[in-house]
Amino acid sequence: NASLIGILQHPDGTVLKQLQPPPRGPREQEFYNKVYDSDCCDSILLELREYLPKYFGVWSPPTAPNDTYLKLEDVTCKFNKPCIMDVKIGQKSYDPYASAEKIQQQVSKYPLMEEIGFLVLGMRVYHVSSDSYETQNQHYGRSLTKETVKDGISKFFHNGYCLRKDAIAASIQKIEKILEWFEGQKQLNFYASSLLFVYEGSCQATTVRLSDVTLAEKRGVPKGLLSGGDILEYNNNIHVLNSTENGKIEASVSKGLSKFYALHKKAYSKRHHSQLSLKVENLEQDNMWKSSTCITQEHLNGNVIPQLEKVFCHMPAEIKESANVEVRMIDFAHVFPSNTKDEGYIYGLKNLITVLKNILDN
């Protein structure tokens, strides 16, 4: 995952980003120093820290003391199968001091920047079915037009089975927070800067917080019998703990905390080898799980996978925001002091939100 964003992993859990040649590298270092200054008391900069990777100063290898690296938080480290996308934001990817030649070079790389306001620089998506990653480089993003950008971005949220609407919804919320910050500040303008998106690709770690839901007391169901009297053909690896009155079994997924429900890694791709453990409990709030999330009893026989896919992908809105998603601003070699709102960046954020909402509503 580090290669996507051109950085090295340090054994201490940080990442190392080599400082670019002047003036870009020193400018980026100065930006981080300013935002993370221990004496900083500017509320705008203090809030900005929430949207950046944490900064731990600079580092040089003992063997090459002249090589300087920024030491940054590894935003992907808490994820089991991190899906990563790097999106450049703004209408101009050249700064106000760029030469005519540099402007020409930047515009020709992606003439649609002005109109679309963002550019996908790369992505890496975990496909549950094949237990492998699909990657796209910057040529992929540059091939996207106004007509295809929606499908191009939705590829990042598709895991081979379904569209991860939970991750899209959580991403929108995080971008909206960054947009609010931009709407409220007139001191910095960002050019050729990116948003880094990360969400959890593996089923095992898809954790759903149900803290606001009372889970009914577990009452075991006699083996092979559902409350409606219907026989459920029991294969050993599916355990039904409880069902609702109407014969539908309601389920959600997680890491295996007792309150939640676990799916083991590779349950999809190697389901004849692995223990597919689907633990089901009755939720007192019937409306908590919409019918699209229900695994109906007749589908439990031999057709578990397409139904489980619905569990992941159509979670009720109440829990979507708990999806394991990170959206952070990165790449600050072209950040300049300003006395106006950063309209180009704001335009890009708003358009990106619009595209993501369109993907959700489809």
The pTM of the full predicted model, rounded to 2 decimals, is: 0.70
User: Dmax of the chain from CA atoms?
Assistant: 77
Residues 6 or more apart from 306 whose CB is under 8 A from it?
Answer: 299
**Which residue did the predictor score with more confidence, 263 or 133?**
133
pLDDT of residue 117: 98
Range 270-290 average pLDDT? 32
C-alpha separations of 300 from 234, 239, 286 in Å: 9, 11, 20
Whether residue 207 is predicted with pLDDT greater than 60 in this model: the reply is no
Residue 263 CA to chain centroid, in angstroms?
A: 20
Reading the block at residue 342, the tokens are 């950063």
pLDDT of residue 312: 52
Task: Grade residue 7 by pLDDT with cuts at 50, 70 and 90.
Answer: confident
Whole-angstrom distance, CA of residue 207 vs CA of residue 255: 6
Most confident of 99-108, 209-218, 242-251, 300-309: 99-108
Reading the block at residue 120, the tokens are 């996908």
Range 350-359 average pLDDT? 98
Average pLDDT across the chain, whole number: 76
Whole-angstrom distance, CA of residue 333 vs CA of residue 26: 8
- String of DSSP letters for 183-240: HT--SEEESSEEEEEEEE--STT-----TTSPBPPP----TTB-TTS-B----TTEEE
Task: Grade residue 314 by pLDDT with cuts at 50, 70 and 90.
Answer: low
User: Tell me: the pLDDT tens digits for 105-144?
Assistant: 999 999 999 999 999 999 999 999 999 999 999 999 999 9
pLDDT of residue 285: 34
pLDDT of residue 11: 86
The C-alpha angle 289, 315, 312, rounded to 5 degrees, equals 115
